[in-house]
A and B are shown apart, each in its own frame.
Chain A
Amino acid sequence: MRTDAKDMTFSLAVAAFLVAASFLFFLLVHPYHLFFKEQIRLFIYTFEYTLSYLDKPGALSCFTGDFLTQFLYLRGGGAVVVSLLFLVEWIVATRVLRRFGCGMMTPLQALIPIIAEWFFFSRISYTPATSVSLILASLCFLAYSATGRKPVLMIAGVLFVPLLYCLAGAGMFLLALLVFFYEIYKRRGMLWPGFLIILIAGAYPLLVRHAYLLTAGQAYLYPSAGWQYAVPGMVMAGLAGVSMCFPKLKHRVTLRTFTFHLLALSVVFIVSLVYTVDRETEHILALASESYFGDRDRVHRLTEKGIPPHPVAAYYTNIAMSQRGELGDRLMEYYQPGASGLFLPVNPNTTWFNIFFSSDVHYYLGDMNMAQHSAMLGMIFSPAHRSSRMVKRLAEVNLALGDSTAAEKYLRMLDATLFHRKWAARMRETTTGKRPQPVTIDTIRRAEDYPAALKVLVKSDSDNRAALDYLLCYHLLNKDIPSFRSAFDTYYKEKAAYIPRVYGEALLVSLAAGKASEKEFKSYKFDTRLVKEFGEYTALYEKADGMLDPVRERFPSTYWLYYHFARMKEE
């Protein structure tokens, strides 16, 4: 009785630690990873959609996984879902390991597959469906191991494997391995169920892959998107195997064994955490998500912290700067990957991650046609080809265009969701028929011909300052000074009372290169300090004789430095 109480207390302590640690981690360290997982999926409450899960293996895992994913939309919801999922998985893992005779250390040992799960949960392509798949497989094993030795029940258990594939997908392999080990462990001399189940599990995906329209590789991994996501299941099966092979490990708990377990686990946990935490991606996703949520202040705070050197980070920072009217002044204060920080390129070499965000700038600038195109592509290339964020964008675009019929298509989809239906209702009430910046000129252009699109926007709406800034900055980041000067003189010069710093720097380069007359020079009304600095820069640049460091030290955030030293990568 005392031992049971100790066991219980110990288990509760481990469970409490797991829940608290995972909750805090996903609440404070990786919240935006979870937000993003929701944004790249769309769970709708319709019968036909529910049935569509049967088109692929792991129907129940995928359905449950996607059902849970929708809660990641809520602030803190993701942390709750993940920590509860880990808790369930840990409880099941504990039970499974106990079937293999693991002793008091089982609660600690059962943490090992959860740590592996934790590690992968912080990857964008990892979905809760894989966790659910493992849980289902483990539950099936528990049911199997409770059947006793009646051959009929054992055969039924073996035949259950194909059904499990249908419900849990690749989690079936965990069941197969556990049964295999269990039969060796428990029923010496009666190995056929174990071998049979391994055989069936090995062959079944290949046999049915065409029915599911999957490649052989996909058939063995589904619902996981990569082989690495099989690791938590393999760890669990491995632990069972080790417990079976080394029975001495599971007997009495001494202080030594406890300390050893605790130390080993702590090392695994800390090492995993170090590798799990991906601050750069988290920062990028924070910028992208807060921009999506419309919290400009938070985006601003995130940009002020400094951004990681990634096109998506630069992209959202540029949008944020433009929204504050500071793009022309601060363009060179942060990482710029050329013009791809203004417009995320969409081409065969682009990752789906970049494509996914590419519509935001077009929408912001008022280029609804391209915003729609990019949103469509974002959805097409997202892992599930359905995205709540992209459906919202498509609805917004069509409402802005005044195409309420097309918008209704998307709003109706959102009506069938748990957390986006209110947004849909709000959009119907507020934006129908409104259009921020109408385009009045028709021309056709290539998708990547951004200057053509920006010129149309500027010509259609002379107050579209954002489009004008983007046009000027596009030329600047491409080091196309003549085009910049031409656009500046055409659209900006007469209207502007003030020349933003970066534009001023570029204009000085242009005027100096063109040996401009004094009259021409004076027509720009430069700040005298800037002109003086340009003189100092030129002298230093000549003196440095092509060396970057001395120039960067004195003029770190200037267009002059970018113009002379930034190297353009070929697409």
Chain B
Amino acid sequence: MKHYIINIVYITLFVLSLCCGATSCGHPEKAEVCEEYPPIYPNYTEVTIPYNIAPLNFLMRNEPSRVEVSVKGKDRSLLLRSNYKVQFSEKRWRQLLEAEKGGELRVYVKARVDGKWIQYAPFSWTVAEDSIDPYLSYRLIEPGYEVWNAIQLRERNLESFAERVIADNNLTGKSCMNCHTYSRNDPSLSFFHLRGEHGGTILNRNGTLRKLNTQAIGMPSSAVYGEIHPSGRYGVFSANVIVPEFHTLDNKRLEVYDSTSDVYLLDFDTNEIQPVPFPGKEGVEYLRSFPVFSPDGRTIYYCEAPKVALPDSIIHLKYDLLGISFDPATQAFGTEADTLYSSVTGGKSVCHPKVSPDGKYLLYTLADYGTFPIWHRETELRMLNLRTGETDSLEEVNAPCSDTYHSWSSDSRWFVFASKRDDGIYGKPYFAYIDHDGKAHKPFVLPQRDPAHYDYTLKSYNIPELSTGPLPFDAKDIERIWRDSEAEEVNWK
């Protein structure tokens, strides 16, 4: 009797739900056509994606009650019905992209809004034949200007949604952590700085962690910006005394400048450090920052500006982009520096140069002035072709808010950068494709399992960097070296 009643209840509910579907819900086939793209977030319309990227889950901002998404390729397609959040199956997504490598996917979105089905204009996803390095590291921090409390360095697998913490300042005495930087996308060669008591530069070389105090006596500070030589033996760093101050005008928020800064070469084998001798600049005081190596390790690129009265003349503080030759065998530097961008002729200020691993392009950030562009809305990326000397203004890539802190993939086909284009405050990692003709494509934001993730996070993604594999350490290892190891001292050469 009991089972009989339960069965009747189930059947009634089933019939009612069918009736509801048939009467009030309408059919997607009878959808009203809308000429506009669907109001999706993140904006994944007309982007180029690698075939090994995790599903581009998105949501509809107008929160329809039902959504039908059809992704059609040449050979395969995907159909998904969902609520306003569109979350693809990872397995089916992977199969689709693998099958459509080098092709184009058309995305058709129908949504039921206020009881009516709407068919939006379809958009495309171009699936590049080039894969992207599968791992991304970044720092998660509240955009709290110069102050921190909870900081994590994380590593994300771009082929899925798996993410792990590689360092957490809760385990290191709440100390500040600077962003993690690879050498040539190599997970076995990277570094980051841990500040405060027991701090130091954490060097990951061939899976072994070392902690170094990179401030030799007389240096203005310990290492700040820099990069490791492709050989793994050297590091080139700038030491900067950083001053954060505030704009009174609203949309600029923070201005960070160096009261002093210079560039140093550190030999990790001998722990000897030396200032990089910059030629032909006698009599003028300069600020130098953001040194990086060329992929062959024979040139050091850096930014340089003559000192001006700060903070009053901050708008006249403009950095040039220069390169100086370096012989890794003898540690000898060139006698002349080449100017790749002159602020005098260009009128703007350069920072964060990064050379593509194939040595063809140099990507840098251009701002109106200064050295800390993340709160400068005008900040844009530029790509210099080192072979032709031409500069691409990357119109497809740049957006009205700050675009900076970029890094290349190991095949030089992709780069990732932090952009505040969504809200002007929180940086997120965007990936852009450079095709074989050197043309940049519209970037897309790091996909998340829950497409509403960025709406509800209060963290900024800092300095995203791509790597070819997972890092050989985690937060536990960083806690151990922070707690148990004395920092190795460096000495002047």
Contacts and interface: CB of A to CB of B under 8 A. Distances in A.
- Does chain A bind chain B? yes
A471 interface: no
B149 interface: yes
B79 interface: no
Given A412-B455, A444-B314, A406 B165 contact: no
A47 B453 CA distance: 10
A377 B147 contact: yes
B397 to A, nearest CB: 19
Contact of A406 (B149, B425, B458): B425
B217 interface: no
Contacts of B425: 406, 409
A46 B84 CA distance: 13
Interface string A332-374: 0000000000000010000000000000000000011110110
B170 A443 contact: no
A453 B455 CA distance: 32
A453 B248 contact: yes
Interface in A366-394: 367-370, 372-373, 376-377, 379-381, 385-386
A218 B422 CA distance: 36
B254 to A, nearest CB: 8
Contacts, number: 117
B149 A369 contact: no
B248 A380 contact: no
A381 B142 CA distance: 10
Interface stretch (A65-73, A168-176, A208-216): A208-216
Contacts of B168: 213
B456 A413 contact: yes
Contacts of A565: none
B311 to A, nearest CB: 5
A408 B143 CA distance: 17
Given A369-B247, A447-B246, A385 B455 contact: no
Nearest to B252: A442
B249 A439 contact: yes
A369 B458 contact: no
B42 to A, nearest CB: 13
B252 A46 contact: no
Contacts of A376: 142-145
B479 to A, nearest CB: 8
A380 B249 contact: no
A403 interface: yes
A287 B453 CA distance: 36
B255 interface: yes
A373 B142 contact: no
Contacts of B458: 379, 385-386
B245 interface: yes
Interface in B425-457: 425-426, 449-450, 452-453, 455-456
A446 interface: yes
B360 interface: no
Nearest to A452: B248
B423 A385 contact: no
A387 to B, nearest CB: 10
Contacts of A34: none
Interface in B224-245: 244-245
Contact of B423 (A44, A367, A408, A440): A408
B148 interface: yes
Contact of B246 (A213, A373, A412): A373
Contacts of A413: 455-456
A379 B147 CA distance: 12
B308 interface: no
A380 B424 contact: no
Interface in B276-294: none
A520 interface: no
A513 interface: no
User: Mostly helix, strand, loop or mixed at chain B's interface?
Assistant: loop
A442 B312 CA distance: 11
A401 interface: yes
Given A406-B424, A444-B311, A213 B170 contact: yes
A266 to B, nearest CB: 43
B455 A377 contact: no
B171 interface: yes
Contacts of B27: none
Nearest to A214: B170
B147 A44 contact: no
A445 interface: yes
Given A444-B314, A446-B246, A46 B456 contact: yes
Interface in A385-427: 385-386, 401, 403, 405-406, 408-409, 412-413, 416
Contacts of A403: 250-251, 424
A571 interface: no
Interface in A208-264: 210, 213-215, 218
B475 interface: yes
Residue among B253, B314, B453 with the highest chain A CB neighbour number at 10 A: B253
Interface string A88-127: 0000000000000000000000000000000000000000
Contacts of B142: 376, 379-380, 385
A31 B280 CA distance: 70
A441 B249 contact: yes
Contacts of B92: none
A545 interface: no
Contacts of B76: none
Contact of B170 (A46, A215, A372, A446): A215
Contacts of A445: 245-246, 248, 311
B31 interface: no
Interface in A420-469: 439-447, 452-453, 456
B476 interface: yes
B69 interface: no
B149 to A, nearest CB: 5
A275 B165 CA distance: 42
B103 to A, nearest CB: 32
A409 B246 contact: no
A444 B475 CA distance: 38
Contacts of B170: 213-215, 218
A17 interface: no
Given A214-B170, A215-B170, A373 B253 contact: yes
16 contacts: A44-B456, A47-B450, A210-B475, A213-B165, A218-B170, A369-B250, A376-B143, A377-B145, A405-B423, A409-B423, A409-B425, A441-B249, A442-B249, A442-B252, A444-B245, A444-B311
Given A210-B475, A380-B142, 5 more contacts: A48-B452, A214-B171, A369-B247, A377-B144, A447-B245
Interface of B: 142-145, 147-150, 152, 165, 168, 170-171, 244-255, 311, 314, 422-426, 449-450, 452-453, 455-456, 458, 474-476, 479
The 3 closest A-B pairs by CB, nearest first: A442-B249, A48-B450, A409-B423
